[in-house]
Amino acid sequence: MQYQILGETLPVVICQLEGGEKMITEGGGMSWMSPNMLMETTTNGGIGKAFGRMFSGEKMFQNIYTAQGGSGMIAFASSFPGSIKAYEISPGQEMVFQKSAFLAGEAGVELSVFFNKKVSSGLFGGEGFIMQKISGQGTVFAEFDGHVVEYELQPGQQIVVDTGHLAAMTATCKMEIKSVPGVKNMLFGGEGFFNTVLSGPGKVWLQTMPISNVAGVLRPYMPSGS
């Protein structure tokens, strides 16, 4: 499989497949394709994995596209202004993505739910608690919100992130969601009650425009239901 990522504000990844090669995506992920791409809808691993994907922000069912009778082309466009990044997944080179980041991938990659170990973070930590773990073998494409900034953390090195800005990290990194100390911070800080502390070794990718932040800015301008 060969690919190119085009566009800046609203990017698209265009994949060129050899005959018999397969791509997976969630329902509605395909943007355009050559007519010889065969689509099959499946739980892709059974109902257990389907529920795991649902809890991590994806749809239960996935579409598998196969190039039939020769080479084929399929494109996957982003759904929000931002970035598309490609990652090579292999045993020992797993990734953790924010919820709903998975755009498409080769058929050898697997999605599962990633839970942070601290239960309290699930109750109060916002987007950072339930994430997606990507394992298996192959290329995977993820879509993130806004521009993406990459940091490489050395062993023990840390960075503190407002939870919604965490886009992805290598599975070697550790994350912990901690409360912001002080009542003044909790009431007037504007950053929420919790931050995510990421520890190396590994790489992290941070996004500049989380869709949750955009929704919060627009909410006062939306008509109320009453």
pLDDT of 210: 74
Domains and CATH numbers, the chain: 2-219 (3.60.160.10)
Which is more confident, 97 or 127? 97
- How confident is the prediction for the chain on average, in pLDDT? 82
Total count of residues recorded for the chain: 226
Other CB atoms within 10 A of residue 170 CB: 18
**pTM of the complete model:** 0.81
What mean pLDDT is predicted for residues 210-220?
Answer: 65
What residues form DSSP beta bridges with 84? 143
DSSP state of 80: S
Do residues 99 and 134 lie in contact, with contact meaning Cβ atoms separated by under 8 Å? Answer: no
Q: Which two three-digit tokens encode residue 98?
A: 């924010």
Which is more confident, 145 or 53? 145
- Per-residue pLDDT at 138 exceeds 80: yes
Q: Is the peptide bond before 81 cis (omega within 30 degrees of 0)?
A: no
**b/e 116-153 (16+ beta carbons within 10 angstroms → b):** beeeebeeebbbbbbbbbbbbebbbbbbbbbebeeeeb
37, 121, 132, 183, 193 from 124: Cα distances, Å: 43, 5, 18, 16, 8
Q: What is the rounded CA–CA span in Å between residue 54 and residue 208?
A: 25
pLDDT of 59: 53
Q: What is the rounded CA–CA span in Å between residue 35 and residue 73?
A: 9
Percent of the chain at pLDDT above 90? 55
Q: Which two three-digit tokens encode residue 27?
A: 């329902």
Which is more confident, 206 or 54? 206
